Amino acid sequence: MSLKLYGYWRSTASYRVRIALNLKGVDYEYIPVHLVNNGGEQHQQDYTQLNPTKLVPTFVDDQEDIILNQSMAIIEYLDERFNQTSPLIPSHATERARVRALAQDIACDIQPLGNLRVLNALKTNYQLTQSEAFAWAADWIRRGFDGIEKRLATQAGKYCFDFDVTLADVCLVPQVYNAKRFGVEMSDYPLISKIAQNCNELDAFIRAHPDNQPDADS
Ligand SMILES: N[C@@H](CCC(=O)N[C@@H](CS)C(=O)NCC(=O)O)C(=O)O
C-alpha cells in the first residue's frame, strides 16, 4: 500500500488528516508543501497538477488510484477504507449528524476565514497590517468557539462526544492550536481547552502535532 499526504506542518487541514491517519494506525509518506517559501509551493505546477485548488492537504492512495483534496472528504474516505479501527464517524444517524455538524462548525465556518490566502488578500487589497489581519482571524475563531463551547456544555464527555474520539475532535484540536497562534484567550473556553488537552495526551495526536513534523519551523 502506498499512501501519501502532501501537507504543511501548521496547516490545520493537514493536521486533521495526520491525526486521522495516526488514529487509523496506517503508515504514510508525508510530503511537505511550503505555503510561504518560493511564493508558496502550493502554486507551483508540479503541485497544482495534483491539486488545482492550490491548497493543502492532498492525499494520494496509489492502490486505489485516487488523488483527493478536502480534509473532510479525505478523513471520511480513510474512515471507510480502514473501518476496522477507531471509527471517526458514528454509525447511528443522529450521532453521525451531530458529529459532522460540530466538525463543520470548524471546517466550514471558522478555518476558511483565517486561511493564508484570505489574510493575504486583506493585507494586499484592503491594506490591513499583519496584526489587524491576525485580529480578524482571532475574531472569527472566537465567534465560532463561543457557539461550540455552549454546544459542548450539553454533550461533551472526555471528548466532544462522550468517551470516543470522533471527527469533531480531529477538527477541534488543530483549530485550538491555530487559535493560540492567533492570540485567542483560551481560558475563555474551558470545555474546548479540556477536550483538546485530553486529545493531546493520545499518541495519535502527539505525533500529528505541527511541532513534530519534519518541516516544522521551516
Ligand atoms: N477546506 C479545505 C481547506 C484547505 C486549506 O484552506 N488549506 C490551507 C492550509 S490549512 C492552505 O493550503 N492555504 C494556502 C493558501 O491559502 O494559499 C480542507 O479542509 O482541506
d(CA 17, CA 7): 9
Is the residue at 215 inside a domain?
Answer: no
Ligand 1 within 6 A of CB of 12: yes
11 C-beta closer than 6 A to ligand 1:
yes
Q: What type of residue sits at position 6?
A: Y
CA of 183 to the centre of ligand 1 (A): 20
Judge if the beta carbon of residue 120 lies within 6 A of ligand 1.
Answer: no
* Residue 216 resides in a domain: no
Give the global pTM. Answer: 0.98
Q: What is the pLDDT of residues 195-215, one digit of tens each?
A: 999 999 999 999 999 999 999
- Together in a domain, 28 and 52: yes
Q: Which residues contact 20 (CB under 8 A, 6 or more apart)?
A: 74, 75, 78, 79, 88, 167, 170
By the 8 A CB rule, do 30 and 56 touch? no
Distance CA 2, CA 29 (A): 8
Task: Give the domain range for residue 131.
Answer: 93-204
Q: What pLDDT is recorded for position 1?
A: 65
Asked if residue 15 has pLDDT above 90, the reply is yes
List the residue whose alpha carbon is closest to atom 18 of ligand 1: 70
51 lines ligand 1 (CB under 6 A): no
- Among 40, 55, 86, the domain boundary falls at 86
